A and B are shown apart, each in its own frame.
Chain A
Amino acid sequence: MEAADGIVEFFEELGRGEHQPLLAKVTGRVRFDLVEGGRPDRWLLAVDKGDVTVWHKGGPADCAVQADRALFERLCRGEENAMAAVLRGALVCSGDVELLFAIQRIFPGPSPERRPQVGVRGSR
């Protein structure tokens, strides 16, 4: 269950009650339906101007995002880009699209280890 822990950890971190500055303008409910072998694992997020409450359950939302569990794990680790995944049809969204654009900010960027080589500064 090591893989699952990444997702649980990600949502628990989000739900710790700390204000999320990147979501400061966001108010709404987003549900993530994570699919693995047909059984959806549902997480519900209520955002109120950056204050996030997380439940490990289903429920009505303004925006629903469905994803393969493995893909979502990579999103939580910053190894996938959410917007590219939407274009690919790997993240399937319904409802309020603006909320989707806003909520994808919760995923981390690529980790420094994964960063391509930065060009040598001042080269001539």
Chain B
Amino acid sequence: MTQNQVKILEGNTFVVSDERGDIEASRTDPTGLFSFDTRFLSTWVLTVNGERLTPLSVDDLEYFETRFFLVPGTGTVYVDAKLSVIRQRSVGNGFHEELTILNHDDEPVELVVRLEADCDFADLFEVKDVLKKKGAYSTRLEEGRLVLAYQRDTFSRSTAISSSQPCALDEQGLTFNLSLGPQGSWKTGLDVVTAVLEAASDGGDEGPALAWQVRRPRTDMARNLARWLNAAPRLECDWEPLRTSYRRSLVDLAALRFSPISASGHSLPAAGLPWFMTMFGRDSILTSLQALPFTPELAATTLRELGLRQGTRIDDFRDEDPGRILHELRYGELTAFEERPHSPYYGSADATPLFVVLLDEYERWTGDTRLVRELELEARAALHWIDEYADLQGNGYIAYERRNQETGLENQCWKDSWDSISYRDGTLPGFPRATCELQGYAYDAKVRGARLARLVWHDPALAEALEGQAADLKRRFNRDFWVEDGGYFAIALDADGRRVDSLTSNNGHLLWSGIVDKSKAKAVAGQLMGERLFSGWGVRTLAVGEGRYNPIGYHVGTVWPFDNSFIAWGLRRYGFKAEAARVAAGILEAAEFFDGRLPEAFGGYPRSMTKYPVQYPTACSPQAWSTGAPLLLLTAMLGLEPVGDRLLVDPVLPSTIGHLGLLDIPGRWGRADAFARGRVDTSRPRQHRTR
């Protein structure tokens, strides 16, 4: 069934149906109309004269709109149908569906068209975990609408269904009794409107009630998408797969835009589609970084919105501390009743230093010092958190250990599965854990914070203090995390200060952060490109030969495109241009097998063995930071770097690309172009030849 699901969305509202356009969700089945992390429609079934329909084709028009071509009957043998049924559906505040019926016969026809509707108002988390509802359901018919409602204390959610053509309403749905003439047609518009919060009044002198503000009118999304694509830099390239990936990334990034109610229409990247269409500290920040040279406004919104929700108190249930940047925000019933901590939840150890990293990188590209001034307090609080609240081992390193033992996250770094952090022999360390990339991010945050303090906040004393701390951290880190007999950095220090000594892709993030001593960089790059980590497609999360290595293990052997994009950027930072190009080539060549849409992860099998990348099965696609990966790989291949008010271009291309141009790159220079020429290796056969 999952194979044939059709998904459309806008912001955090999305519809998952079968290929007839029908929804028949069980409590555990993730289909339906969802908005604000709540299911607003769990049954939506169309019949004609009591019969279900058969799909002829589905047109995915855009990410927010789809069209189903259907004929009556469900027989296995194709019936010579005299009727066509077309459902065209677009998402807005709920969804709108244009239902058209065409009579192809020379005879008139009498039809009973029926739409069954129902809703369980399940929280997204309930769909995953199967929990019993505690509130009460009701159904009412009012003013030509069928209203399905759910109430638990003051918590209320409702769905109102109406038709533009007359119909008979009952508590289970809508019925149309039609007479269609020869070659006749009939059409109705169906509106399914969701309501979050009780909208008893439309507000007073202060302005509209929140319940009204969360309703979004359907905007001209087609024009909005066209404008988005037009504003992005133009890519010229003789290697078609890159052009396909680039276009796919831009469209998917548009679909992944999420506009929180407080952002006055501005958007930030949500984490993934459809289940993670919400703000995630880590995902939103890393995707904004990847997209900075292409769509810098995403970074600005990410920074503002995360800043607005920065932690201010000690709250163990939410793993909140003052200055901490949130991990995940949710709006559903379980969050509302504090049965889940996502209002928001703060259990992430990397989002806070990365917040400062993004603020600085944003300024370097855009020159927007106003935002740096605006977020001065938030950035200072984030820097303060690193030293004051994150040093759980008492040794000057960021570490994590959840205080919410029931519903908090055990691993608060990007490799967040239970077995992702292990010693060589496969055993797992206790808590708190100080993973290595966190120290890199902290170092980078201090260096960048110092730059901003001097340049924008006019606080040279803070700048000096931060620079001193950064130098000290770098010195200690290169001593404490270095695995001498391996020639790489340990993935973590355990609670006793012992190195968790497995070889992992995290070393690439360390290069990106700049914390690696120059004298050690060559060894680290060598490990990343060596046989144990590099599969031919990309760098594995965990090296071959480690106790827990598994080529299809989530964080213990698979290749993550997002991870590799930062590794490539890190290799560039230390001057390993050809190596960066090799990583870029591997990942972009893998993208070709997924029609340009990179999955979250794929298998770590050697490229020579499988010939194609084996996709890791996940429910979430596209995922924001996989979508952003081709963008950062482009930046790495072109060697784009803001230097003062100019854009520096220092390209090294892989052998698949002859010429590459990126035109109209936005930044503090206005718009700039970047060009590169490569030496194409024509001896290698290609899957797809360029025209």
Contacts and interface: CB of A to CB of B under 8 A. Distances in A.
A99 to B, nearest CB: 9
Interface in A13-58: 22, 24-25, 31
Contacts of A83: 343-344
B154 A90 contact: yes
B155 interface: yes
Nearest to A82: B343
Interface stretch (B307-315, B537-545, B582-590): B307-315
Contact of A101 (B156, B213, B308): B308
The number of chain A residues touching the other chain, given as a range, is: 35 or more
A60 B205 contact: yes
A110 B338 CA distance: 13
Interface string B315-351: 1111010000000000110011110000110000000
Contacts, number: 125
Nearest to A24: B377
Contacts of B154: 88-90
Nearest to A63: B206
Contacts of A101: 262, 308-309
Nearest to B406: A116
Nearest to A84: B343
Contacts of A78: 313
A92 to B, nearest CB: 7
A94 B337 CA distance: 21
B464 interface: no
Interface in A70-124: 78, 81, 83-84, 86-90, 92-98, 100-102, 105, 108-110, 115-119, 121-124
Interface string B198-213: 1000011111111001
A31 B402 CA distance: 36
Contact of A124 (B208, B404, B494): B494
A23 to B, nearest CB: 10
A96 B203 CA distance: 11
A118 B204 CA distance: 44
Nearest to B315: A109
A89 B337 contact: no
Interface stretch (B425-433, B563-571, B663-671): B425-433
Contact of B203 (A87, A94, A115): A94
B261 interface: yes
Given A89-B154, A94-B209, A108-B313, A81 B198 contact: no
A64 B202 CA distance: 12
Interface of B: 153-156, 197-198, 203-210, 213, 261-262, 308-309, 312-318, 320, 331-332, 335-338, 343-344, 374, 377, 392-393, 401-405, 429-432, 494-496
Interface of A: 22, 24-25, 31, 60-64, 78, 81, 83-84, 86-90, 92-98, 100-102, 105, 108-110, 115-119, 121-124
Give 5 nearest A-B pairs by CB, closest first. A109-B313, A95-B206, A124-B430, A87-B336, A94-B203
Given A101-B308, A122-B431, 19 more contacts: A64-B203, A84-B336, A87-B336, A89-B155, A92-B197, A94-B207, A94-B208, A95-B203, A95-B207, A97-B213, A97-B262, A98-B262, A109-B315, A115-B316, A116-B403, A118-B403, A121-B392, A122-B432, A123-B430
